[in-house]
Structure 1
């Protein structure tokens, strides 16, 4: 064997050793300034997971370094931030995204660059179906999954005339389209008599509430969140929109959005959410105690998502024994992870995690918004079949 061959072998060995002992860089892009209610707890959840993993020796001997960037709530800024993380910071993987339109932009970036991306939060179905690609996986329950959890509860109400209200961008459009489809299948005589779709963050609550009231629906499906939700609830309470009407509402039970309502919290809305104060499973207790010890605060749903994002990446890298993109993709297909809600699996068919959600009802408990009568629904039971996914998702 020549000296050059021996040198090449030694160099390869040293490179592999350096990689194993080096830093695992996670590049994360999110709308921290625009959506602080969710993303401040989310970042704390990520930092807790990084601390726990590094204290235990890292992943395959590599300590995690988390590098975050703010996308200012715009897809263009998100893609520029991702490019800077990949080219300048030389991160090993990308994660993040809150708004669905930004998640789609980051997923397309991952496809173009052939780079692994874990979409932690964006909910649109397109991320794993219509615009799905081999480089993108998604953690949170999708708009389809959450609609599929809520639609049976809506059908039980036996209300014929429904109105819908949603923010007019990808998440809202996707949520309402799926809810309509699933409710119509469960209750063929249902009618959708009004639709209000204000721009995200620019709700004219008075006109929206009045338009819904004028349509005289029997029930309302709402997917507004954040400041828009607070304005909608306040104006709806003032004008009596919710009196004698059932409301089914996606995300409203999450403490990020329920807590600010305080004494304006409506009673009896059917919601998806996170009743952190009542979950008694061992895995959630351990997470809650660790989070409370570090921050002297209770977790929000963002905390769970951020924590599980980092834990997912660590589990994938450990299984792959590498952070190289193709090996990581192979490891993530069928990867089972531990979450504060129990075990979840990233489906090989569409790269969607089976992490579920809690469904229950809102209650105004002495001026504080809470969830009652809640149950955890396993996300694996609220997804299309493999054959259906093949029709929805491009081959790759």
Structure 2
């Protein structure tokens, strides 16, 4: 599967390059490795791939990296840390990439971050959300693009604190992502509302939720509000069972990632109304940066973007930005250029902070609703990422000592 997907991805990019007159004039190439869970999580990773394709086309059409063609060599990790490490080894030792990127699941991202540290190769973590990747287990070679657990928890806690709810219950997948998100949400909400208490927790295994017993246990604790961090197929099962049982009626729900089209679209008429969510309301964003991205994406792919599209596009733009920022494409040269690197994205300009290697990419917060038989985000606002991070001096103290 890894070879097939990698070959298909390479063929797609090759076709894009051949279609471009500008690309034909490029001399030489710079190879970058990319690893993601294509076969395990296609709802996110297929749009992510399309976002990368658009960014790569734009970069090479415009002359590449100082006249050299940017080449992405992509591999599938199947959602397994061991497979991700095998792919990373192949990319570095056999394919000769100057850096690696990608990742979806937090445990896979942490494995790749450790690989980057051991092999001294730069890794841009695209999607993994755990705070450990840049803080408690951060290293000199790993940088993270996506708005982190801490950042999105801070955004959601800010809204949750406005609710009258005092008794909370939590539902999250039982692995690094879910565990770390729930922990930081609790911490941040209690700082804002010392009167709240958490009366129940449920930790279903990823992609294997048995929604009935989970919701029965939550309902038995009689919470005023529920924090949910399930996604993909687990989210659909949870919503369907919760709607049937009436679990969400007269209860506030704060739900992480649920407003992303990847996870909201499948719910259709089952979409719950009024949940506070993070997400991507692509249909309602009116900024110039996003409109340019949206027009180009729809022209190339004849489809609308998902949040994965933003992540894939911004990952490749970050790669190009750092390779253009320095002529020294050794690991040391790239690490130095990554610190305080400014990158233009569809969500506006971001910076990779020097102190903790976290980007300042922001996120949208809103509530769920149904329109024309499908789920949407309404009443949304954009939250700049820099506003929801600790100061760099404080963040630096969260990282291991050198």
Q: TM-score, normalised by structure 2?
A: 0.93
Aligned 1:99-178 pairs, distance under 5 A: 99-178=105-184
Shift of 1:21: 4.4
Matched, 1:375 2:385: no
Aligned positions of 1:355-394 closer than 5 A: 355-394=361-400
Gap runs ≥5 in structure 1: 1-19
| Residue pairs, 1:334-373, within 5 angstroms | 334-373=340-379
Instruction: Calculate the aligned-residue CA RMSD, in Å.
Output: 0.9
- Please say if 1:43 is aligned against 2:53: no
Shift of 1:183: 0.4
Of 254, 261, 276, the match for 1:248? 254
1:220 is matched with 226
Q: Residues of 2 paired with 1:275 and 1:57: CA distance?
A: 32
Partner secondary structure for residue 375 of structure 1: strand
The alpha carbon displacement at 1:389 in A equals: 1.1
Matched, 1:302 2:308: yes
Number of the residue aligned with 2:323: 317
Q: Which shows bigger deviation, 319-328 or 343-352?
A: 319-328
Is the aligned partner of 1:259 residue 2:265? yes
* Matched pairs, number: 377
CA contact (8 A) 2:289 2:348 kept: yes
* SS of equivalent to 2:161: helix
Q: Which runs of 5+ in 2 are unaligned?
A: 1-25
Query: Could you state the TM-score of these two structures normalised by the residue count of structure 1?
Result: 0.94
Match of 1:200 in 2: 206
Check if 1:86 corresponds to 2:92: yes
CA distance in 1, matches of 2:214, 2:162: 26
SS at 1:311 equivalent: helix
What residue in structure 2 maps to residue 280 of structure 1? 286
Distance in structure 1 (CA, Å) of the matches to 2:354 and 2:397: 15
Distance 2:117 2:378 in 1: 42
Following superposition, the deviation at residue 364 of structure 1 comes to: 1.4
Offset of residue 81 of structure 1: 0.5
Kept in 2: contact 1:60–1:321 (CA 8 A): no
SS in 1 for 2:400: coil
Structure 1 residue 22 corresponds to structure 2 residue 28: yes
CA distance in 2, matches of 1:179, 1:243: 23
Q: State the alpha-carbon separation in 1 of the partners of residues 144 and 263 from structure 2.
A: 22
- The 4+ residue runs of structure 1 with deviation greater than 3 A are none
> Cα distance, 1:366 vs. partner?
3.1
State yes or no: 1:329 paired with 2:344.
Answer: no
